[in-house]
């Protein structure tokens, strides 16, 4: 899936983003305790992807690494965010 927009809504414990795909689907990206999940629409939506980093006490990850581990592609990395992840 190609991510065309991602807005970080929490920076750590958990790190999470609201994202949109090229096809227009909304995704919820979440990383906590070394485990990342991608759900369709919202946290209770269908699971699209998940991964473990082997870092069980970790709650922070950047969007590039998250997408790489989850099998997602960033169309234009951080194009809609300022340096700390807030929407422009």
Count how many domains the chain has: 1
What 3-state DSSP class applies to 70? Answer: helix
> Does residue 52 fall inside a structural domain?
yes
> Does residue 84 fall inside a structural domain?
no
Domain that holds residue 60: 2-74
The pTM assigned to this predicted structure is 0.85
- Residue 11: beta bridge partners? 15
> Does residue 23 fall inside a structural domain?
yes
What 3-state DSSP class applies to 8? Answer: strand
> Does residue 81 fall inside a structural domain?
no
> Does residue 37 fall inside a structural domain?
yes
pLDDT in tens, 62-82: 999 999 999 999 997 655 554
> Does residue 14 fall inside a structural domain?
yes
> Does residue 88 fall inside a structural domain?
no
> Does residue 24 surpass a pLDDT of 50?
yes
Number of H helices, E strands in the chain: 1, 6
> Does residue 86 fall inside a structural domain?
no
């Amino acid at each position: 899936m190609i991510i065309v927009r991602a807005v970080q809504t929490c920076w750590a414990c958990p790190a999470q983003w609201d994202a949109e795909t090229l096809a227009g689907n909304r995704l919820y990206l979440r990383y906590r305790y070394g485990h990342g999940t991608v759900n369709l629409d919202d946290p209770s939506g269908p699971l699209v992807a998940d991964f473990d980093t082997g870092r069980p006490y970790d709650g922070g990850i950047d969007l590039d690494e998250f997408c790489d581990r989850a099998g997602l592609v960033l169309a234009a990395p951080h194009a809609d965010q300022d340096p700390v992840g807030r929407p422009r």
